[in-house]
Structure 1
């Protein structure tokens, strides 16, 4: 059974035919399917065949819907990237660091890897090959983030009518490399690490000792701790409000997630440390409590590198700043603190919407301050 000629895609035209007229001029004609679905014949007459074809194409272009998107399936991916960058730059919901990261991945990885393909050529096999190459060269984490950026670009093409489906969602899932599960510091290891940090000359020069004490007693992220300011402290009540985080360009006045905003009870030794820092004229705490050695807001990347070198130097090469978060969670769990309260301490989002909107839970239990007191290497005194 014959099904007939398939219809033209909306907004496109068929083959252009030309004919020399009796008066010597040329006619160029083509079938065009308009945006209401109707098919019409469009023709233009000119003295030469080439001029007639050019005039016809111009007429078709002018006929096309002026509100139609400039994005098409025949566009190169490198041009889609430009549209994507403009879209990302206008999204108020994105943090500045996220905008920078997405733009960098799009320009540095996707453009050289897929930029010369047409948008319609972003297929599952092409995506699988591209992401596999990124994973081999740059690692699983970068490949995973690149996949997310590519999916956002394709979704933008779908929004503009250039594609119908998102092939990134159908692409092969990336396999995370096996790695050793992170572990918490034992009480003895925790005490030993803090003592070695306090004894390290370079750590004192870089003003890392108090920062590490704060991290290990609160479970805050590096960026959150580096953004703490005196106006968010109540040392008489022994609490700190976590309201912001640092990025490489300064302070971002909101936390990583909505759940990141929280009020934490501070252990007595941390309260004493903060009082000492505020009273010390040699430490510039006017802007932040844990500034860089130059008295400015800490650069998160630089601080992470300084901690990495410090832990390697003192024999704790397996420790990262997140080890302290794991340690805090473990201590609270061992003390019988509920999973919800532990999540609040760390600033984790609760999957339950009801719990998420219950503001009373945002101030963590005062018992956490007692549980997270500084560990000691000294033996307890006999009763």
Structure 2
């Protein structure tokens, strides 16, 4: 049974178990107590939606933490953030909502440290650090306006990654790359190939339009940092793009129906495909699309390239956004040498890779 409710994300987790949460607030629905599609489920959706609307209607009081947060959301800085970062920051604001009436005069570094500790216990170390970062941004932009004395989050030490926790977005093995490209549907294969051969963030790759390709170069701007990128199209990527299904979408990549991908849409398709490969033992767990960006960096570093060369290719430089593509020709030339190294190294590794087999205990 396929169930859709406006404002809610319904999906299967990595264990194939159904999950549901409210997109704006992140509130989860316990599908064991309120099974998907049941009267209890829809009642819970209605309750969470009403709660969200009530929270939105409550105007924050001046001179409070909620007032500072509200003021920050009106800044140009917040408006220029990537959509994913905006969503993360709004989730942080939702977490802080119960203490929104805290007077600004009561905010201290120890108080922020306490909030940070509580967040780590409730939502995990990574999201707790996001709450800390969010508060730091709020305070930084409130200081010049005279709304608060200083950034009280600056002195709070971020939570460390637990030692037993595997790193997210690990690099892909050569065998995994070959297996995914071999098994993926054509419209998915070209998307993976584009990310794999450019090091672009998946969200940026999905947004690329046809007019961002000039000759044999992809020109663009990283959505997360607004850094300019100039990526030469090597033989491998050109072959993948030439073999892609024809479509009329303005974007380079498109769905099987010829429409531009949404990030959530591609993530869902990718997740289902990846889980199938995992179940068959074709890839190891922990394979992510963002891991391909790490793969490019790792491959180039192991091939002996300098960090600055790799950073240029990945768009980690900070040129002005007003700079025209033509003025970045020197960057494109330098990146062409870097891309040639990546092509050569990928070809060399693909020739010596052994077939991927899952370790099976006797």
Tell me the TM-score normalised to structure 1 length: 0.61
Structure 2: give runs of 5+ residues left out of the alignment.
Answer: 1-59, 320-326, 355-362
Residue 201 (structure 2) aligned to one of 191, 204, 221: 221
Equivalent-residue separation in structure 1 for 2:243 and 2:79 (angstroms):
39
Question: What secondary structure, in the 3-state scheme, does the structure 2 residue paired with 1:263 have?
Answer: strand
Residue 204 (structure 1) aligned to one of 185, 188, 195: 185
Q: Is the 8 A contact 2:112 2:153 kept in 1?
A: yes
**Which residue is 2:27 aligned to?**
none
Residue 155 (structure 1) aligned to one of 140, 145, 170: 140
Question: What secondary structure, in the 3-state scheme, does the structure 1 residue paired with 2:197 have?
Answer: helix
Residue 72 (structure 2) aligned to one of 84, 91, 96: 84
Equivalent-residue separation in structure 2 for 1:231 and 1:157 (angstroms):
40
Q: Judging changes above 3 Å, is the alpha-carbon distance between structure 1 residues 79 and 334 closer, same or farther for their aligned structure 2 residues?
A: closer
Q: Is the 8 A contact 2:195 2:201 kept in 1?
A: yes
Equivalent-residue separation in structure 1 for 2:250 and 2:220 (angstroms):
14
Residue 111 (structure 1) aligned to one of 73, 97, 100: 97
Equivalent-residue separation in structure 2 for 1:327 and 1:294 (angstroms):
30
Measured after TM superposition, the shift of residue 376 of structure 1 is 5.0
Larger Rg: 1
Q: Is the 8 A contact 2:227 2:315 kept in 1?
A: yes
For the pair 1:289 / 2:252, whether they are aligned, the reply is: yes
Residue 277 (structure 2) aligned to one of 306, 314, 318: 314
For the pair 1:298 / 2:261, whether they are aligned, the reply is: yes
**Which residue is 1:365 aligned to?**
336
Question: What secondary structure, in the 3-state scheme, does the structure 1 residue paired with 2:232 have?
Answer: strand
**Which residue is 2:217 aligned to?**
240
Q: Judging changes above 3 Å, is the alpha-carbon distance between structure 1 residues 325 and 87 closer, same or farther for their aligned structure 2 residues?
A: closer
Q: Judging changes above 3 Å, is the alpha-carbon distance between structure 1 residues 75 and 224 closer, same or farther for their aligned structure 2 residues?
A: closer
Equivalent-residue separation in structure 1 for 2:162 and 2:96 (angstroms):
22
Measured after TM superposition, the shift of residue 365 of structure 1 is 2.4
Q: Is the 8 A contact 1:77 1:118 kept in 2?
A: yes
Aligned residues: 277
For the pair 1:230 / 2:203, whether they are aligned, the reply is: no
Structure 1: give runs of 5+ residues left out of the alignment.
Answer: 1-70, 245-253, 352-356
Residue 173 (structure 2) aligned to one of 186, 193, 205: 186
1:195-229 deviation line (CA, Å, top 9, x unaligned): 2xx2xxxx428x21221122222222212221233
Q: Judging changes above 3 Å, is the alpha-carbon distance between structure 1 residues 94 and 332 closer, same or farther for their aligned structure 2 residues?
A: closer
Equivalent-residue separation in structure 2 for 1:152 and 1:291 (angstroms):
36
Question: What secondary structure, in the 3-state scheme, does the structure 2 residue paired with 1:287 have?
Answer: coil
Equivalent-residue separation in structure 1 for 2:75 and 2:352 (angstroms):
58
Question: What secondary structure, in the 3-state scheme, does the structure 2 residue paired with 1:117 have?
Answer: coil
Q: Judging changes above 3 Å, is the alpha-carbon distance between structure 1 residues 166 and 256 closer, same or farther for their aligned structure 2 residues?
A: closer
Question: What secondary structure, in the 3-state scheme, does the structure 2 residue paired with 1:214 have?
Answer: helix
**Which residue is 2:239 aligned to?**
272
Higher relative contact order (CA 8 A, sep 6+): 2
1:123-162 deviation line (CA, Å, top 9, x unaligned): 2232122122222222223222221222233334433434
Measured after TM superposition, the shift of residue 359 of structure 1 is 6.1
1:70-126 deviation line (CA, Å, top 9, x unaligned): x99x833223333333335x76644455445434432x12222x2121111112232
Equivalent-residue separation in structure 2 for 1:374 and 1:218 (angstroms):
18
What value does the CA root-mean-square deviation take over the aligned residues? Answer: 3.5
Q: Is the 8 A contact 2:64 2:101 kept in 1?
A: yes
Within 5 Å, which residues of 2 pair with 1:58-97? 75-87=63-75, 93-97=80-84
Q: Is the 8 A contact 1:192 1:377 kept in 2?
A: no
Equivalent-residue separation in structure 2 for 1:165 and 1:336 (angstroms):
44
Measured after TM superposition, the shift of residue 186 of structure 1 is 3.5
**Which residue is 2:31 aligned to?**
none
